[in-house]
Amino acid sequence: MRCRDDDSARADGYDLAMATVEVNPNLGAQIVEDAKEYVLYSWSTQDAINPIAVAGAEGRYFWDYEGTRYLDFASQLVNVNIGHQHPKIIAAIKEQADRLCTIGPPMASESRSRLGRLLEEVTPGDLCMSFFTNSGTEANENAIKLARLATGRHKIVARYRSYHGATHGSIILTGDPRRWPNEPGMGGVVRMLDPYTYRCPAGHPDPCPVCSGAPHLEEILEYEGANTVAAVILETVTGTNGVIPPPPGYLQAIREVCDRHGILLILDEVMAGFGRTGRWFACETWDVVPDILTVAKGINSGYVPLGAMIIREHLKEWVRGRFFPGGLTYAGHPLACASAVASIEAFQEEGIVENAAEVGGYLGDGLRALAARHPSIGEVRGLGCFWGVELVKNRETREMLVPFNASGEAATPVARLAKASLERGLYLMTHWNVIMVVPPLTITREEADEGLAVLDETLAIADEYVV
Ligand code: PLP
């Protein structure tokens, strides 16, 4: 969809009055050329990158220097929960920059203190004290550090279908193949299977030892020695590894096993937190409060880098009289904290979490309707604005449309679908055989319909491979 032509853009309801659309293809080409030459890209074969030069963004859309506009069904990296260029956050950053751009972590600063207090208010249970970081991975690094210190134990149980970040410890907690080139790395990580009911690793008997949570974890603890295990770390809803919500009762069972053995439960809500699931925090859906909650992304939609490790009262008490051996020069950066305060207030004032539940439910219904028309859809799962569409070659056998860890030729069917969607103005995130449908939480029904209509067209590509 192009917004170069003002009339056609307005006819689409696109408010050009709010944003300046700069059409400058030569500048766009130069930006891409320089990016290829001088910027090392994450998780990419460097020769294969071909980034979109983004000239601007607003709400659920971004656009390039050609004037082509894209509906952001990925919220970039599932982090722009509030949408692009929210005026309240921009104003807060500007105001904070005028007053105090930076100040070190040993000082107290207004935006940091206010954010700490706000996080105590919006998080569930007695989660009450925050250690600020610049990213999700650093929040997880500090969570395992604290868990090991507080328990005096060293092992951490983590799952295979997980991503916890790219730094030294978090990438080893990560179960997916992004871990492999980083091994051996940090020791002490014990692996647990996932409650992935659609492809249950235990064959899903009734009751299932893996999908019900407790028996599988209990068995691992028997072999490992429960008193050597500091923590279990889980994504409350598995994100990039397929958007997999836990089955009913699973999280409660894991919580109970942890409590019985004095093991801390760390819930990584870097992706699932801040309204993504239609609740402030995903764990509220199952009434489970972790000992440590890690967050980033949606805390301020990435307007300024920020993450946090948030701890419960009992850990706050434990840490009070002790030295905490960790820190970051930019921890609790004033600009980041001011943007997060503004974002949380906007969430409260504008009912953004409620919108995620309401329009997200509508989106989920739309995806299920697509499943009725497209035989390549094996399963639609998710909640709020957090959906995964799993693609298969055959619904009976559930053979994956693109195999586990596929790249190159093997990944073609989904790569074609994503490319065709982009050509129709829909930006999607895909992971092997799963399309992630994760738009900003401020999405409207009309925008959901726009994205669904494109998907309806491009899923025909996946259907071609059905046998
Ligand atoms: N944890 C989860 C569940 C994530 O999805 C991510 C990033 O995608 C991270 C941790 C790492 O966050 P960051 O990239 O901010 O370090």
Block means of pLDDT (10 residues each) for the chain, 467 residues, are 39 46 91 97 93 97 97 98 98 98 98 98 98 98 98 98 98 97 96 97 92 96 98 98 97 98 99 98 98 98 98 98 96 98 98 98 98 98 98 98 93 98 98 97 98 98 98
Distance from the alpha carbon of residue 306 to the mean position of ligand 1, in angstroms:
11
- Nearest ligand 1 atom, CA 235: 3
Across 370-408, b (16+ Cβ under 10 Å) vs e yields bbeebbbbbbbbbbbbbbbbbbbbeeeeeebbbeeebee
Contacts from 446-453 at CB under 8 Å and sequence distance 24+? 446/13, 447/60, 447/71, 448/359, 448/362, 448/363, 448/366, 449/366, 450/71, 450/426, 451/71, 451/73, 451/363, 451/426, 452/363, 452/366, 452/367, 452/370
- What pLDDT does 201 receive? 87
> For residue 377, what are the contacts with CB-CB under 8 A and spacing of at least 6?
370, 371, 389, 390, 391, 392, 459, 462
**Block residue for tokens 């070190």:** 104
pLDDT at 12: 39
- In this prediction, residue 21 carries a pLDDT of 74
Residue ranges of domains in the chain, CATH in brackets:
6-85+352-463 (3.90.1150.10), 87-350 (3.40.640.10)
Which of left, alpha, beta for 405 (phi over 0: left; psi -120 to 50: alpha)? Answer: left
Alpha-carbon distances, residue 76 vs 162, 214, 285, 436 (angstroms): 19, 35, 25, 11
pTM check: above 0.85: yes
Report how many helices (DSSP H) and strands (DSSP E) the chain contains, helices first: 14, 15
- Hey, whose CA ends up nearest to atom 12 of ligand 1? 136
| CA-CA-CA-CA torsion sign (260, 264, 268, 274) | positive
164 alpha carbon to ligand 1 midpoint, in Å?
5
Ligand 1 pocket, residues with Cβ under 6 angstroms: 77, 135-137, 140, 163-165, 235, 239-240, 268, 270-271, 296, 307
